[in-house]
Structure 1
Amino acid sequence: MPYIDVTTNISLDKEEIDALKADLGDAISLIPGKSESWLMINIRDSAALFFQGSGDKAAMFDVSIFGSADGGAYDELTKRICAISADKLGVPADRIYVKYSEYTHWGWNGMNF
């Protein structure tokens, strides 16, 4: 049950959103036991997002998962997200943050896991 919330100050068209979604869908499998089949993604473009006092291209990736993962998996996913950000958004790795949150309670379909 992963969820990725992407916020960027870049305006994206439908094709760019679809490409970003597809790449993140592939990347989530770097966390053991996670797959695109359970992945929910929210992409917010054209945000009033500033980093280091600048409105230059920037992005925030907030990754939430049910359960936990080891640091190595997060390291690999961060590398992949940085590459995706550079490729799909034109945002360099030093202009993004990637944040991870782990949850023990996650609801779906009227129940909790």
Structure 2
Amino acid sequence: MPRITVKTNVFLNREKKYRMTLEFKEAIELIPCEKASFVMADFEDEAFMLFGDEAASDPCAAIEVAVIQDAIDKYDKEIFVQVLARMTETVMKYTQIPEDRIFAYYRNSPLWTYKRQDIIGTLVHV
């Protein structure tokens, strides 16, 4: 059962949450073993969040995705990067938060994206 959690410091009305969930379901279908009908999405909006050296009022978001752990090892990593990229685009679309203020990652996985790109490989090699 895929679970998607969006935490942000901006307000999200019920309609935006619903539409985002529909788009998340489409994105999750890119993973061969996951089904949109089992997606659970939860939203924590208007949270106190800080990003870097910016003020607490500057908009930002984090997207956490929980999927079947074996799937991350079984399928091509690019599929999972693409899923996070699409989810980032969805959050950008409904919140107007720029991509450089959004992190997306898989729970219990070293796969994190920033600006819709895998960043762990870059950070580890610095």
Q: TM-score, structure 2 length as denominator?
A: 0.74
Q: What corresponds to 2:43 in structure 1?
A: 43
Report the 3-state secondary structure (helix = DSSP H, G, I; strand = E; otherwise coil) of the residue aligned with 2:107: strand
Q: What corresponds to 1:9 in structure 2?
A: 9
Of 56, 65, 68, the residue aligned with 2:67 is: 65
Aligned mates of 1:71, 1:52 — CA distance in 2:
28
Report the 3-state secondary structure (helix = DSSP H, G, I; strand = E; otherwise coil) of the residue aligned with 1:7: strand
Decide whether the 8 Å contact of 1:2 with 1:65 is kept in 2.
Answer: yes
Deviation at 1:101, TM superposition (A): 2.6
Decide whether the 8 Å contact of 2:31 with 2:80 is kept in 1.
Answer: yes
Structure that is richer in strand per residue: 1
Decide whether the 8 Å contact of 2:33 with 2:71 is kept in 1.
Answer: no
The number of aligned residues is: 103
Q: TM-score, structure 1 length as denominator?
A: 0.82
Q: Which amino acid counterpart does residue 85 of structure 1 have in structure 2?
A: V
How do 1:30-109 residues align onto structure 2 when only pairs under 5 Å count?
Answer: 30-54=30-54, 55=56, 56-66=58-68, 67-69=70-72, 70-101=76-107
Quote the sequence identity (%): 27
1:18 aligns to 2:18 (yes or no): yes
Gaps in structure 2 of 5+ consecutive residues: 110-126
Aligned CA RMSD, in angstroms, stands at: 1.6
Aligned mates of 1:20, 1:5 — CA distance in 2:
11
Gaps in structure 1 of 5+ consecutive residues: 104-113
